[in-house]
Amino acid sequence: MNAKVALLRQDENKTFMHPDTPCSVSGASVARFADIEILRYEIPGFANLPLERKLFIYHLSRAALAGRDITFDQNGRYSLRLRELFEGIYLHYEGERDHEEFRGVEEYLFRLWFSSGIHHHYGSEKFEPQFSRAYLCGLIEAVQVERGELLYFHGRELEELLEVIFNPHLEPRRTVQSGEKDLLQASSANFYDPEVTQQEAEAFYREAYETLTEEERSTPPSLGLNSRLARREDGKLYEQTYRIGGLYEEALSRISAELHAALPYAEGERQRETILALLDYYKTGDLEEYNRCMISWVGDTQTEVDFINGFTEVYTDPLGMKGMWESLVHIRNHEASKRTEKLCREAAWFEKHAPIDERFKKEEPRGVTATVVSVAMLAGDSYPATPIGINLPNADWIRATHGSKSVTIDNIHEAYRGASRHSGMDEVFIPNPEVRALLAKYDNLTDHLHTDLHECLGHGSGRLLPGVSADALGAYHSTLEEARADLFALYYMADEKLIELELLPNHEAYKACYYRYLLNGLVTQLVRIRPGHQLEEAHMRNRALIARYVLEHGEAIGALELRGLELIIHDYAAMRPIIGELLREVQRIKSTGDHEAGRQLVERYAISVDPELHREVLTRYTQLGIAPYKGFVNPRLEPVLEGDKIIDVIAHYDEGYAEQMLRYSREYRTLSTAPISLETLRHPEPSDATLEAAKELRSNLRHSMDGQVASSMRSKGLYYGINFGLTLDYIIRLAEKQPKTEDLASYILSRDVRELKIIGQLIYPPECMTYEKATELALTVSSNPELRDYIAKNLFDRIPESTHWALDWSLCSNVSSRQEILPVAFTVLVRKITKGFIIQPPVWRQRLLNILLDILSDGMVAYPTTQQRTALLLLKRWGREDKAIREQILSSASLSSWRSSESPVLREFADDITFELEEYPSN
């Protein structure tokens, strides 16, 4: 174990609300904070798998974790920046940590990790900080001044983040899927530009659907699934597609690299085809490739190890179209899968006897497969909170034509059960001892079976009528689809067929499922809702819809009642026809695309919360002292090496929550903290007016071209795609005539034309420049001395925050591509120091001086590198303007060693510095 990790583990035990439990037992508690408890799960049988299976799991797991940053960014456009800010404080703050407000900062970070963003993972409301703005600013300043970290959190960008954290009216909810407000404007999920309205988005995708041919509509792409809807300067909408070469490029490239590494260990040709199709999909962003991948994946039913990797579930999108990135890797549990195999073999019987209109039934259910699995890695939208069952694909036409595949995650079930033993919930909410005895006897069995029926058969049942769009129900789709699958499972739970199949032992067992489900939907799930809030999450709404409908109709015939918080069921059998009636209606709504009927059903039963009942639920629950939400840390998969060859993979169960999250941020950081801004800069979508202005500008450049100068510049090592050889004075005069818009500046900066890049620097509006954009632009010019000097002068001189950006690039430990960007950082600092900027904090001064001396101390080069030239320039300028630094340089051991070095480069550095600082000091 390296010292850094050891220190993190020590810090974790100092600062956790609850320290890590040194135990690998499934369901063991790892950490507890806010309304969340972190548990551990195990991978049964992993140690006994053959090496090729372990390697397959290892590479698929790394591919899963490489998509983590995508999930953070999809959940909100500030998520990655806030994660970096709070992680930086957690890692580098050296002051008092046993302070109430610091514990609030720590809790905020732990919740941010858990939700992959700043909104509650279930309730969707924004976190309320348990610390003041002044306290947080004090921590940031302390980390900056005392450690030289987080330096770019300054000025406009810091103020913006502080507003997001402390202003309750800004970004208040991640996802809003009901009500009279514009759903997109009310939601902060990062699938649409902030000003795009619900009406505009719905019209955009309605038009996209209408352009499909009849043949395409029979096998339609999942429109919008893998893209973000953005707006051009002229107001037109366009899609930023998730692909290599597009949005989230770095993450998808890393995922693809690990999928390539997994290919040799695929179990068969069908699994290999699935991975290859997934790679093509990530490369192109083509939804036809996604369909090909899903069809291949559905047909791959015999493999031992399987996985999900991609933009999948649409619950987070207010319009229910755009997929969140998620991944799971899992191993088949052969013994437990026998029960799901029984259900799959009888899929046609269940479809035939479903209580729905014959028009909406599948004529012949195809390819229905289901397995019980043990998960080996959770990632993206399935981590740390994870589902216990999954049914895919979501495309109805693939289900109808090729089938579906379901998994029930057994080791997660086991971990939940281990954690919930002796929780006291049943004693508090179920006063009848006979009901508790019923649940004790059958609850575990029926819980598994309900999940199996829901995933294996419920989601795969029924069909759409011809011409009905899969997106017809809009924002209500997710709730109604989950309700449909649950109703299917509940209806058949009381059927004689399950006893015939030996899945239930008798006619009493189903009652445990009915009681638990209805109590949860009516009462106990409310422990997860804050006072004054309504139900937002699709699964919670679905359970409430069913339970409240059954209660309303069951009370009318005396079958059940809710007496205070006590659910009393008088006639279990009478509830099955009510469930069948509701299933019939929900299937009709889906099959016909009856949006209005779906809306009325959801709005009536699935959203509101009775405040008195809720208050009593929370009063009782609080006495138990348990967390309403659970999540998991993953096992740590470690390769065992013999030379360069992996000879084994070991699963470790010793990693704490903060330790794992910090390791993932360190090892799987694939995106910048503002991916959307970079995508707009790298792949601008210019308006027609911008294209016309750029065309005219290029025409002016061509007419004034000086080929001799361009050739001369090329001979001196200044390479451009196109160089018109124009003087700087002419370029400046031309720039003065151009509109100063970000749209034009971004577009011409993306062209590999010398003069256009310089003009782009000159006209870029300083108020539109951010740290991430500046970093990207700096990296693109770092190796070109002309553009490097010009960007410092033409752009960064106009931006006050650029001083801190340059210091951040120079000093901060978390800057990726740091070595490449240093020449620009040093050039900017030279100009700032020349204009009177004084680097004051002692930590900054000493660290920067050490960095410069270290760079210049590399004498194993024939000629000074670009980094060394700019470092030398900065060292001389800084020394001339700062007497204390000059004395440190001249008395440094580095300078002394350079003078006597055998390296001519080092001796030249020593002579140059000595001459500059001893002969011509400025002060």
Identity of the residue numbered 6: A
> Do residues 41 and 411 make contact, with C-beta atoms less than 8 angstroms apart?
yes
Residues of the chain with pLDDT under 50: 1-24
Alpha carbon distance 170, 181 (integer Å)? 16
**pLDDT recorded at residue 7:** 37
Distance from C-alpha of 592 to C-alpha of 357, rounded to nearest angstrom: 11
Supply 710's token pair. 């361009």
Neighbour-count burial for 251-280, b at 16+ CB within 10 Å, e otherwise: bbebbbebbebbeebbbeebbbbbbbbbbb
In 300-419, the DSSP E strands lie at 305-311, 325-332, 368-380, 389-392, 404-409
500, 461 contact by CB (below 8 A): no
Nearest to 491 by CA among 590, 554, 560, 576: 576
- In the numeric block, the tokens 């909410």 are attached to 429
Round the CA-based radius of gyration of the chain to a whole number and report it.
Answer: 31
Cis peptide before 739 (omega within 30 of 0): no
Long-range pairs for 235-241: beta carbons < 8 A, 24 or more residues apart:
236/687, 237/196, 237/200, 237/201, 237/204, 238/685, 240/676, 240/679, 240/683, 241/285
Would you state the pLDDT for residue 921?
63
CA-CA-CA-CA dihedral for 134, 139, 145, 148, to nearest 10: -140
List the beta strands (DSSP E) in 312-349: 325-332
Q: Assess contact for 523 and 617: CB atoms under 8 A.
A: yes
CB contact at 8 A, 219 and 291: yes
Gap between the Cα atoms of 812 and 825, Å rounded = 12
Q: Given the DSSP bridges, would you call strands 404-409 and 368-380 parallel, antiparallel or unpaired?
A: parallel
Q: CB neighbours of 552 closer than 8 A, spacing ≥ 6?
A: none
Name the residue type at position 368. Answer: V
Dist. CA 548–CA 528, nearest whole Å:
18
User: Residue 660: what residue type?
Assistant: Q
788-844 pLDDT, tens per residue?
Answer: 999 999 999 999 999 999 999 999 877 667 889 999 999 999 999 999 999 999 999
Give first-to-last CA distance, the chain, whole Å.
50
Q: What is the pLDDT of residue 922?
A: 61
Query: At CA 407, angle to CA 61 and CA 592, rounded to 5?
Result: 120
Enter the DSSP assignment of 915.
I
Which residue is it, tokens 């397959």? Answer: 56
3-state secondary structure of 642: strand
Cα 669 from Cα 87, distance rounded (Å): 13
Task: With H, G, I as helix, E, B as strand and everything else as coil, classify residue 295.
Answer: helix
DSSP string, 40-69: E---TTGGGS-HHHHHHHHHHHHHHHTTHH
Q: Is 671 left (phi over 0), alpha (psi -120 to 50) or beta?
A: beta
* CA angle centred on 323, ends 541 and 587, rounded to 5°: 45
pLDDT at 510: 97
Residue pointed to by tokens 């049964």:
44
